[in-house]
Structure 1
């Protein structure tokens, strides 16, 4: 029993250590490929914001027209998805730098830190799950939901809402996708917000919602595992 417990702790640590900033800081020189280098804040763009927005609108409109039939929706936009670098969305609750996230962060390997300090909690369990569901119910606008909560279940309606499950790269397994931050325009169609797997912790109708997309760095083969850089260095 003790051996099994130690094995479980070892597996948890191997997954969590890339989110533990002191450990990463002490190992920068040993794992250069686990770093995400960005020259300046907000300059992480591999593709333009216009291209990201255009692809989001096309996929979400396809979902809306096909009445949650994600297979039919993806087939509708498949030719463009194949030729696009755009990949997935990082799901979760969006926290400003001053908002409380201490208890949600304990033992949580799914927290992404944006270049300006905004945090996205992509955990689908525990307190994180309860917080997201609460905010999701809070922000309804008549018949429309302002975010998608199906990524918390096994029946995800948005096939792109899987970015939080991408693994960290290593020397042996280099990154094949990268993170790119994107602020959703305040004029984004209300009827399409129900497919967004992100929601703000504090409601503010005037601020843009921070989203993070994963962009392919090269052609991705079918069935290939996705790897990205968890730790960010901003010069």
Structure 2
């Protein structure tokens, strides 16, 4: 029992803000590869992958973006999985993890279910990390207690990717605050069991451990709002800021900040994704 609690703590402490504050004062930059590359893929490549999927999702699923019944959301989610397979060659789902709890598994198309088959190539986007942004000066102590989904960016910004309790309420509130007419400016379906964009499960990717090395890394990207169609923003778990932003032109001038999980090697069908909570690209 003690060993189990120790294992849980060693993983959770990297998401517990008070522990981070006292122990990581000097550690703000995380290296990704042996040669300390700044990025695994270029920003343009990352944006192309995201927009290819969001454009396909918009063409089929935009009419169900508005809050619907659980049955309708489940049906839309299944359609989204098929769309992701067609566009990216695989999809990802939340499932029981080999290290306990919930993790994220790579699933190949119906005709590729062999565990020896590679379905994700190095450099492909395999997930997005959603949540509310907290600047270093903003309070997040109470939100972080018992919350394993606090992500620390290289610049000290914290992202609360919890889909329950106060974190869930705060994200919904911020999205409604920043709504552009009838169009939501960020995905809220990731707060349910059935995300309309299957990539929006990055917060459930577990930390690497002995025997399970990382196969993905985090890469931050700020997208010019003009590069994302207004009707596609509801499929991106744009990181909404806890404090109000200065007034902007909602049609084109809202920056869309995302944190993507990028494959650092080829990944086989049925393989679980693992990151390193101390691994991020500047």
TM-score range, shorter chain: 0.7 to 0.9
Does residue 86 of structure 2 align to residue 76 of structure 1?
yes
What is the distance in 2 between the residues matched to 1:111 and 1:191? 28
C-alpha offsets along residues 42-70 of structure 1, whole Å, 9 cap, x if unaligned? x6311000011111111001000012530
Check whether the contact 1:89–1:162 (CA below 8 A) recurs between aligned residues.
yes
CA offsets 1:119-150 (integer angstroms, 9 cap, x no match): 11111111111100111221211121101111
Counterpart for residue 93 of structure 2: none
* 8 Å Cα contact 1:55/1:86 also seen in 2: yes
Aligned twin of 2:237: 197
Q: 1:90 to 1:62 in 2, by over 3 A?
A: same
Distance in 1 separating the partners of 2:254 and 2:139:
18
Whether 2:51 is the aligned partner of 1:57: answer yes
Which is worse superposed, 105-114 or 93-102? 93-102
| Number of the residue aligned with 1:32 | none
* Structure 1 residue 85, shift from structure 2 partner: 1.9
**2:259 equivalent to 1:212:** yes
* In 1: Cα distance, 2:88 partner to 2:280 partner: 34
Could you say if the C-alpha distance between residues 143 and 46 of structure 1 is closer, same or farther in structure 2, counting changes exceeding 3 Å? same
In the alignment, the residues of structure 2 paired with residue 94 and residue 121 of structure 1 have an alpha-carbon distance, to the nearest angstrom, of 7
Stretches of structure 2 that go unaligned for 5 or more consecutive residues are 62-75, 91-118
SS at match of 1:103: helix
Q: Compare 157-166 and 75-84 and name the one that shifted more.
A: 75-84
Q: May I ask how many residue pairs the two structures share in their alignment?
A: 221
Query: What TM-score do you get using the length of structure 2 for normalisation?
Result: 0.68
1:115-134 counterparts in 2 under 5 A?
Answer: 115-134=154-173
CA change 1:182–1:51 in 2 (3 A) is: same
Counterparts in 2 of 1:158 and 1:55: CA distance versus 1, 3 Å: same
Distance 1:220 1:233 in 2: 19
Question: How far apart are the structure 1 equivalents of 2:220 and 2:183?
Answer: 25
Provide the rounded CA distance (Å) in 1 between the counterparts of 2:22 and 2:271.
28
Matches within 5 A, 1:84-123: 85-123=124-162
CA distance in 2 between partners of 1:51 and 1:227 (Å)? 22
Q: Secondary structure at the match of 1:214?
A: strand
Runs of 5+ unmatched residues, structure 1: 29-34
What is the TM-score normalised by the length of structure 1? 0.81
Aligned 8 A contact 2:120 2:263 in 1: no
Contact 2:46 2:125 in 1 (8 A): yes
Bigger mean CA deviation after superposition, 197-206 or 117-126: 197-206
1:231 is matched with which residue?
Answer: 278
In the superposition, relative to structure 1, how do residues 9 and 58 fare at CA in structure 2: closer, same or farther (>3 Å)? Answer: same
The alignment status of 1:145 with 2:144, answered yes or no, reads no
